[in-house]
Amino acid sequence: MSKLGPLDTAVSLDSYECTIAVECCVFGFQGNKLKILLVKRSIEPFKDHWMLPGGAMGDGKTLSESVNDVLFNLTGIKRISLEQVACYSDVDRHPVKRVVSVSFYALVKPENYPVIPKNYISDIKWYGLDELPKLGFDHDQLFEDALAKLRNNLKEHLVFGELLPDRFTLTELQELYENILGEKLDRRNFRKKILQMNILEPTNQKKSGVKGGPVLYKRT
């Protein structure tokens, strides 16, 4: 894996034409469960395999513009915030040609982004992390790296995108953490650590319909 600088759509690399591609892990929180959006490819190679949405970098487009274009063209999702994960340049990662990919992740509420398979995608589905199929190309590795990046960001910066509403309880925040990290957290220690980060503030509201009426928080 290598760091990525400014790139064109195709470059000459070891006498081979090299395609620059973008791939995206779109995470969602649904039914108190972390999920990822997968698409089923309808063309070879890896026809009928599930994978991350991705495609070639567009002419005259930046990486961020390209990944947003790809998501819209394959799934209908548009205008979401993205975090770059890594660059993948192994020579044999694509069976037909040389492809260097830059991966991203995004955090969304699935209910806010209706999806529909488009172009060479025959199906599209939100999968729980405990039910993932084997992915095409090297997308299993891309997914694992994106999840690791998300977990690290969550621990250090409280970055959870659109996975929670604007106002949430500390219990809801802890449940989200536990789902993403895949582990149970001590309630007292979690709350102490979160509140010491000084990135949340209590609102004057309480969550209705819940015993005890817990206080709703928001990010500062």
Tens-digit pLDDT string for the chain (220 aa): 433 333 334 444 444 589 999 999 999 988 888 999 999 999 999 999 999 999 999 899 999 999 999 999 999 998 898 999 999 999 989 998 999 999 999 999 899 999 999 999 999 999 999 999 999 999 999 999 999 999 998 877 777 778 888 899 999 999 999 989 889 999 999 999 888 888 889 998 888 877 667 899 998 8
Going by C-alpha positions, the residue among 113, 189, 196 that lies closest to residue 178 is 189
The model's pLDDT over 44-64, given as tens digits with 9 standing for 90+, comes to 999 999 999 999 998 999 999
- Please give the pLDDT value at position 4: 36
| CA atoms in the 13 A half-sphere facing the CB of 88 | 24
Q: Nearest CA to 199 among 158, 156, 153, 152?
A: 158
* pLDDT at residue number 212: 66
The structure's pTM equals: 0.83
Would you list the DSSP string of 72-124? HHHH---S---EEEEEE--TTSSSSSEEEEEEEEEEE-GGGS-----TTEEEE
Q: Where in the chain is the domain with CATH 1.10.10.10?
A: 170-219
Instruction: Specify whether the backbone of 158 is left (phi greater than 0), alpha (psi in -120 to 50) or beta.
Output: left
Where along the chain do the CATH 3.90.79.10 domains lie? 10-157
Q: What is the CATH code for 170-219?
A: 1.10.10.10
Q: What is the CATH number of domain 10-157?
A: 3.90.79.10
